[in-house]
Amino acid sequence: MPRERIHPEGTDATYRVQESLKALVQQGGARKTFRLKPDANKALAQLVKLLGAGTETQAVEAAITALRDLLQAEAVAKKQRQRSATLRLVK
31, 21 in Cβ contact below 8 A? yes
Query: Any idea what the Cα angle at residue 50 is, between residues 47 and 52, rounded to 5°?
Result: 100
pTM here is 0.70
Conformation bin of residue 52: beta by default, left when phi > 0, alpha when psi is -120 to 50:
left
Task: Give the residue extent of every domain in the chain.
Answer: 13-90
Q: How far is CA 79 from the centre of its chain?
A: 26
* pLDDT tens digit at each of 91 positions of the chain: 788 887 788 888 898 899 999 999 999 999 999 999 999 999 999 999 999 999 999 999 999 999 999 999 999 888 888 887 776 665 5
31, 24 in Cβ contact below 8 A? yes
